[in-house]
Amino acid sequence: MDQFITFGIVGLSTAAIYAIIGSGLVVTYTTTGVFNFAHGATGMMAAFAYWQLTVGWDLPVWLGLVIVLGVLAPLFGALVERALRPVQSLGDAEKLVMTIALLSALIALARWIWDPNKSRSLPVFFMNQDSIHIGSATVSWHQATTMVIAVVVAIGLRLLMFNTRIGTEMRATVDDRGLVGLTGADPVRANRVAWILGTELAAIGGVLIASAVALDALQLSMLIVSAYTAAIFGRLRSLPMTFVGAIVVGCTEAYLAGYLPQNDYLPGLRLAAPALLLFIALLLFPHGRLRGRDHRLTRVPLPTLRGTAIFGGVIVVFALVLATVLSEADLVTFGLIFPMGVIALSFVPLAGYAGQISLAQLSMAGIGAAACAYFGKEGQWWALIAAIVVAAVAGVIIAIPALRLSGVYLALGTAAFAVVLDRWIFTLPAFHVGSVEITIFDQGSVNLVGPSLFGYQLDTTAKITVFSAVCLAVATLLVASLRHSRFGRRLIAQRDSEAAYATLGGNLLAAKVAVFAVGAGIAGLGGALYGMQLQSVTAEQFSFAAGLPIFLIAVIGGLGYVGDGFFTGLLLAGPFAAIVAIWPDTADLVSVIPGLLGIAFAGGVISQGAIATMRKDWDPVFASRSAVAAYVALFAVLWVLRLSDVINGYVFFGGAALAALAVQVYVANRKPKVAAEPEIPVEFWGIKRDWQPEDEEVLDRAVATRG
């Protein structure tokens, strides 16, 4: 019994921290409508700043707390509110991208400023004071302080929300921002107070919990999963239920730590418990729709199969160039363009066509890599098929319980699934199912070898690079064919209006399960190719946090474009990797870039997808046969010179880039200026201009959206 009480006290002290952080999350969301995925990263930055001031620079504890909680946290909250103010009028996707980008950027920034290889820890408060004894149980002053602060926060929030004018404005802003403004209140001020208050609570929680764990940017940021669970218990609007959820999570963690049997298979379960509770809470607790339906949907382009086939050929030629001009060591790095491109391509049917946001695609890639390593130990070609099938089955497993989720809830559910894989499933040792031994990553790394195709063994990095490019080209063509198919049109219809789609006889269950399986299968293929390129991979390479930059760059490229996969792989494993290869000390700085680009995109600095912007600039070049022929000739000359060792790799790639830029400028300058044709209203389509095949789809989607 004494042990039970002791673990209960530990659980309650941890629950108090989760309650503080979760209440800040609820206050921010209910007032502004923005679910802050970076809430935990905000507390992480506060903990690091507090460590720097008190331990790194030896300032007094009280002064460090005043600076962090009285100056830095409010300033950061005001800065985030100002940055996110334009996003509040946008759709759910833009809000989601902005906060995920902020999460990724803050983790990378913390690792850049504070070396993650250096161990850091914070002392507890009142560490020299005698403990408090309750019967046979002992409560430290730090634990007691934490629980008292949680109670004060609960009382203070209650008084603020129901007994002050600003609290009334904050509650009113939730219901109707426009009406609040008409009554003379200031919704902008209410939002600012909510962000500052939410940031302050995240900072308090970060400082309190940092003494119980190692100061690690990713670990502290991912503690927010527990606060997410508490907030979902409160259905993102009830502070009392958020505190109840925090108690459930905190005590569950404590009692699992104390009573979970000791064996090789269960330690990860304790670490994954908050994510499991989050997933269960999302499924069990009723919740309303998030601020209505998102009407800011972009049109999904219809690629031509001929153009996609040519694009696939360009991908393969590009791989051949890399395989012939780069060394084996460089190919290991830059050859990742194509496997990462396949993984990123999985977002196109899932998020671009169907509007289903998944943050677990890199986890699906990890499943594909593990399956390929298990079935293809001797280079069996069908191991790639097995990787696709196993990953697709995992996608179905995600899809079935997540069918009732959408928007932020779906993103949270897939994130929870990814964290469960990170912390538990991927860490499992080998186990038996009947007489069959199953290994995932076997608590270490797994080795992958290239497949044997028609008696031809892909046993070098160059061969695997070209093979990965062929796989990316074929997958891109298949995704383009999906867009032309009846199933693809149904996916887009249900994205635009699930109610209209179901009313017209569409099967939402089948459509969502199928598209999750397709997306996971493509990601599984990418994971297998990724492992073959590196020859050996670990579970950490497929973690939830590692997948955030891929998601962000894919969003920036344009989720509806079939070229988004190659764009994402090229950017992440191309220029970013080249900068790190040339200047290794910039690795942490470069890791911040995807987050900053995501913030710029969601904030409207990047007005539309990068691929759409590039197509406007380059379509005239592709339409000019003479320009294309001239560039191909210049490129061929440079290639021959590189193969003859007349020029080095830097000159080759620099010359190819300059030649492309010169051709683009030349075509742009010689292009005749023509006046833009006036837009013809829809009712005159087929009368004042010829009827076009895509017009029928545009009209169908417009009717479905308004339905």
Whether the pLDDT of residue 199 is over 90: the answer is yes
State how far Cα 560 lies from the chain centre. 17
Residue type for 21, please? Answer: I
The answer, yes or no, to whether residue 679 has pLDDT greater than 70, is no
646-658 average pLDDT score = 87
C-alpha angle 184-188-191 in degrees, rounded to nearest 5: 120
Residues 276 and 334 in one domain: no
Report the C-alpha gap between 692 and 195 in whole angstroms.
48
C-alpha to C-alpha distance for 464 and 468, rounded to whole angstroms = 6
Q: Are residues 323 and 460 in the same domain?
A: yes
In a domain, 223, yes or no: yes
Helix axes 564-573, 461-484, angle to 10 degrees: 150
Q: Hey, which bits of 523-672 come out as E strands?
A: 536-538
Q: Do 569 and 461 reside in the same domain of the chain?
A: yes
Q: Select from 522, 535, 374, 537 the least CA-distant residue to 458.
A: 535
Same domain, 533 and 565: yes
Within-domain flag for 514: yes
Identify whether 517 is part of a domain: yes
132: three-class secondary structure by DSSP: strand
Residue 135's pLDDT is what? 65
**The two structure tokens encoding residue 540:** 């950490």
Residues of the domain holding 449: 306-605
Quick one: pLDDT band at residue 91, thresholds 50, 70, 90?
low
Lowest mean pLDDT among 47-61, 294-308, 513-527, 570-584: 294-308
Q: What is the pLDDT of residues 220-268, one digit of tens each?
A: 888 778 888 888 888 888 888 899 999 999 898 888 887 877 777 787 8
Q: Give the single-character DSSP code of 690.
A: -
| 433: β partners | 436
Domain membership flag for residue 278: yes
* Residue whose pair of structure tokens reads 């989050």 in the numeric block: 278
Which token pair is 622?
């592709």
What pLDDT does residue 183 have? Answer: 63
Distance from first CA to last CA of the chain, Å, rounded?
A: 60
**Phi, psi at 524, each rounded to 5°:** -60, -40
pLDDT at position 180: 62
**CA distances from residue 652 to 20, 324, 576 in whole angstroms, order as listed:** 56, 12, 18
Q: Give a yes or no: residue 38 inside a domain.
A: yes
**pLDDT computed for residue 93 by the predictor:** 64
DSSP-assigned letters across all residues of 430-469: -EEETTEEE-SSTTSEEE----EETTEE--SHHHHHHHHH
What does the block give as tokens for 216? 């690690």
| Biggest distance spanned by C-alpha atoms of the chain | 89
Residue 533 in domain = yes
Highest mean pLDDT among 91-95, 158-162, 313-317, 558-562: 313-317
What token pair was written down for 536?
């050996």
Quick check: 198 and 6 in contact, CB under 8 A? no
Residue 454 DSSP symbol: T
251 and 341, same domain (yes or no) = no
Residues across the chain: 707
Distance CA 398, CA 406 (A): 13
Q: Are residues 466 and 324 in the same domain?
A: yes
> Which of 284, 316, 335 marks a domain boundary?
284
Q: Are both 60 and 140 inside the same structural domain?
A: yes
- 183 with 135, same domain: the answer is yes
Q: Which of 587, 605, 623 is the last residue of a domain?
A: 605
Rounded Cα gap, residues 566 and 554, in angstroms: 10
The alpha-helical segments, DSSP class H, found in 336-378 are 337-345, 347, 361-375
Whether residues 261 and 376 fall in one domain: no
Does residue 122 contact residue 64 with C-beta atoms inside 8 Å? no
Helix (H) or strand (E) holding 51: helix 39-51
- Pairwise CA distance, residues 504 & 521, whole Å: 29
Domain count, the chain: 2
User: What is the pLDDT of the chain when averaged over all its residues?
Assistant: 84
C-alpha span between 561 and 704 (Å, rounded): 22
Q: What is the pLDDT of residues 115-140, one digit of tens each?
A: 888 888 888 877 666 677 666 667 78
Q: Which long-range contacts (CB under 8 A, 24 or more apart) does 253-260 make?
A: 253/11, 253/14, 253/226, 254/7, 254/8, 254/10, 254/11, 254/14, 255/7, 255/8, 255/11, 257/7, 257/10, 258/3, 258/6, 258/7, 259/7
Q: For residue 138, what are the β-bridge partners? A: 133
Residues contacting 484, CB < 8 A, separation 6+ = 302, 305
Residue with tokens 């790190």: 580
What lies within 8 Å, CB to CB, of 694 at 6+ separation is: 302
Tens of pLDDT, residue by residue over 328-345, are 888 998 999 999 999 999
Q: Which residues contact 467 (CB under 8 A, 6 or more apart)?
A: 450, 451, 458, 529
- Assess whether 434 and 521 both reside in one domain: yes
User: In degrees, to the nearest 5, what angle opens at C-alpha 411 toward C-alphas 212 and 355?
Assistant: 165
Local confidence band at 700 (pLDDT 50, 70, 90 cut-offs): low
Backbone angles phi, psi at 457, to 5 degrees: -85, 125
φ, ψ of residue 431 to 5 degrees: the values are -140, 165
Give the number of other CB atoms < 10 A from CB of residue 233: 25
Reported as type and span, the H/E element at residue 456 is strand 456-457
Kind and range of the H or E element at 310?
A: helix 305-325
- In a domain, residue 560? The reply is yes
Q: Does position 74 have pLDDT exceeding 90, yes or no?
A: yes
Give residue 295's pLDDT band: very low, low, confident or very high (50, 70, 90).
Answer: very low
210: domain CATH number is 1.10.3470
Residues 6+ apart with CB under 8 A from 377: 449
- Is residue 367 within 8 A of residue 391, CB to CB? The reply is yes
Please give the Cα distance from 517 to 514 (Å, whole number): 5
Q: Is the pLDDT of residue 35 over 80?
A: yes
Distance CA 221, CA 100 (A): 12
Q: Residue 406 region, left (φ>0) first, then alpha (ψ -120 to 50), else beta?
A: beta
For residues 317 and 323, give the distance between their C-alpha atoms in angstroms, rounded to a whole number: 10
Per DSSP (E only), the strands in 144-203 are none
- The residue from 605, 638, 656 where one domain ends is 605
pLDDT at 694 over 50: yes
What is the C-alpha separation between 520 and 4, in angstroms, rounded? 43
Average pLDDT score over residue span 268-296? 70
Question: 363 and 253 share a domain?
Answer: no
Name the pTM for this structure: 0.87
Tokens, residue 389: 């099938």
**Which sign, positive or negative, has the C-alpha torsion 240, 246, 248, 251?**
negative
Closest CA to 231 of 210, 212, 246: 246
Whole-angstrom CA distances from 76 to 178, 198, 451, 684 are: 27, 11, 51, 52
677 lies in some domain: no
Amino acid at position 141, single letter: W
| pLDDT given at position 262 | 77
- In which band, very low, low, confident or very high, does the pLDDT at 633 lie, cut at 50, 70 and 90? very high
Are residues 140 and 243 located together in one domain of the fold? yes
pLDDT for 706 beyond 60 = no
Is the pLDDT assigned to residue 49 strictly greater than 60?
yes
Dihedral (CA of 539, 423, 409, 399) sign:
positive
